[in-house]
Amino acid sequence: MQDFIKIHSGDNVAVALKPLSSGTAAEIGGNTITLLEDIPQGHKFALADIPAGSSVIKYGCAIGMAKEPIKTGAWIHTHNLKTGLGDLLTYTYEKQETAVISTEERFFEGYRRPDGKVGVRNEIWIIPTVGCVNNIATALERMSKKYVGGTIDEVAAFPHPYGCSQMGDDQEYTRTILADLINHPNAGGVLVLGLGCENSSVAELKPYIGDYDENRVKFLVTQESEDEMADAMELIGQLAEYAGTFHREPVSCSELIIGMKCGGSDGLSGITANPTVGAFSDMLVSKGGTTILTEVPEMFGAETLLMNRCQNEETFEKTVDLINDFKNYFTSHNQTIYENPSPGNKKGGISTLEDKSLGCVQKSGSAPVVDVLKYGEPVRDKGLNLLSAPGNDLVASTALAASGAHIVLFTTGRGTPFACPVPTMKISTNTALSTKKSNWIDFNCGVLVEGTDMDTLKNEFFDFVIEVASGKKVKSEEAGFHDMAIFKQGVTL
């Protein structure tokens, strides 16, 4: 295993790949650097003297400015490094040509729906229109487990606290996300469970859903039922009978849609797991498939790397709006736009938002950006898409599912057990996490700094994603975890 890494030739820092002791001699680029203090795993140390006010460079880009003079071999972190980010910026489109070369077609075993869509799971979903019926939904989930088996992969309820006492965008978001999930092809059958007096009632929701298959989607308004449990179980039985008619068949990877997200990042995220997911994204796009990158606040400081990969001026302008609209969201709530790294991020070696963002966007690979999606907007174009959603893990991952992702790839350096409405694959940045939390982690990218090369790892990872798309359960599915969260911004009545 390497002890440290200089990521880019222009960097003036290196990253410790394991804990390094004060006095350690590091040979980098023909120079010997003696560490002046202990450097934790994932943290940075200076490769040259850095004057106060000068840029600290990592990934070949500035990740902030030195608060004070930093000596060669010194630890660089929040105590001596500050963000260089400000408020709204003016951007210029400097197009970077990034050609995608087509590669050999690959197939997974998926479920073809009558409307032509494809799912990677054949589940029955119980979706409440309002939080008031959450307990009914979860009780129905427990009672309906008897239907799991054969080609029915799972019965899952998705409780949430919204659907009433909301105004403006919040109410629109709730209706849009619920309709997106109702229409998601991973569900072979859906019971929409309403109360009857809520703002986002079944009647209000139907126009958002649009045309639907009456065999696949059933509705129950509990205030109109004498025995809602019995009536609901009868409908679920009908849905199970219908969903049971679907079977897996070979489907081209060109129809696969994959969401990309990270959380609980550490100093190795941008070195191991995120670049591996980026390499996967490029591979899938080369086979005609689709990927979606989100968590806009974790693009701040690295946004120009995405902007310059936009396929045309129109997509560039949409990306500028994506960034500035989110900055305006922060400032409209009297919040600074750069106080993002969490305590766990900082403990893992991330010092500033630029540091976090430059590692985060590694998940995008090198393909052109083909489109920018609004929150809740379904994906239209094959290739790499950007999606408007916050950094919050549950909200962003649910947004990816709502936009059409069959699977969410979730890289993490700290670990997390959560799941979203679709299979949520946990990818560790370091081997220690994979070993400690083997009940959470599905794939370990820590081996990338332990002798495994990227070509080998990306191919192994692509094969693993194909297995999951073909029915292999990820750890959160094995545990029976299903979560969903909707973006809330405004007033609650």
Contact partners, residue 171, CB within 8 Å, separation at least 6: 199, 200
Residue 1 binned pLDDT confidence (cut-offs 50, 70, 90): low
pLDDT of residue 339: 64
Please state which CATH class domain 4-82 belongs to: mainly beta
Question: Using CA atoms, how far apart are residues 155 and 238, in angstroms rounded to an integer?
Answer: 13
- Do 123-245 and 4-82 fall under one CATH topology? no
Task: Give the residue with greater pLDDT, 397 vs 350.
Answer: 397
The arithmetic mean of pLDDT across residues 131-137, rounded, is: 98
Q: Parse the chain into domains and list their residue ranges.
A: 4-82, 123-245, 251-479
Whether 158 contacts 137, CB under 8 Å: yes
The arithmetic mean of pLDDT across residues 135-163, rounded, is: 97
Q: Cα-flanking dihedrals φ and ψ of residue 171, to 5°?
A: -65, -40
* Share above pLDDT 70 across residues of the chain, in percent, rounded to a whole number: 99
Amino acid at 204: E
* Share above pLDDT 90 across residues of the chain, in percent, rounded to a whole number: 89
Q: Is the dihedral of CA 444, 445, 446, 450 positive or negative?
A: positive
pLDDT of residue 85: 82
The arithmetic mean of pLDDT across residues 452-475, rounded, is: 98
Instruction: Point out which residues pair with 82 in neighbouring strands.
Output: 65
DSSP H helical ranges for 210-352: 228-243, 273-286, 303-307, 313-332, 343-347
Question: Using CA atoms, how far apart are residues 205 and 78, in angstroms rounded to an integer?
Answer: 47
Q: Write the pLDDT tens digit of every residue in 387-426.
A: 999 999 999 999 999 999 999 999 999 999 999 999 999 9
DSSP H helical ranges for 424-484: 431-436, 454-469, 475-478
Asked if pLDDT for residue 433 goes beyond 70, the answer is yes
Task: Give the residue with greater pLDDT, 388 vs 356.
Answer: 388
Instruction: Point out which residues pair with 108 in neighbouring strands.
Output: 251
How is 195-233 classified by DSSP, letter by letter?
-SSSTT-HHHHHHHH-S--TTTEEEEEGGG-SSHHHHHH
Lowest mean pLDDT among 16-20, 168-172, 328-332: 328-332
Question: Using CA atoms, how far apart are residues 433 and 268, in angstroms rounded to an integer?
Answer: 12
Asked if pLDDT for residue 153 goes beyond 80, the answer is yes
Instruction: Point out which residues pair with 290 in neighbouring strands.
Output: 257, 383
Which of 124-142 are b and which e, b meaning 16 or more Cβ less than 10 Å from the residue's Cβ? Answer: bbbbbbbbbbbebbbebbe
Nearest to 445 by CA among 231, 192, 273: 273
Q: Dig out the tokens for 348 from the structure.
A: 């893992």
Whether 286 contacts 384, CB under 8 Å: no
Asked if pLDDT for residue 274 goes beyond 90, the answer is yes
Residue 304 binned pLDDT confidence (cut-offs 50, 70, 90): very high
Which of 50-83 are b and which e, b meaning 16 or more Cβ less than 10 Å from the residue's Cβ? Answer: beeeeebbbbebbbbbbeeebebbbbbbeebbbb
Q: Is 34 exposed, middle or buried (0-12, 13-18, 19+ CB in 10 A)?
A: exposed
* Average of per-residue pLDDT values in the chain: 95
Amino acid at 412: T
Residue 340 binned pLDDT confidence (cut-offs 50, 70, 90): low
Asked if pLDDT for residue 331 goes beyond 70, the answer is yes
Nearest to 369 by CA among 357, 381, 377, 356: 381
Q: Write the pLDDT tens digit of every residue in 6-17.
A: 999 999 999 999
Range 123-245: architecture per CATH: 3-Layer(aba) Sandwich (3.40)
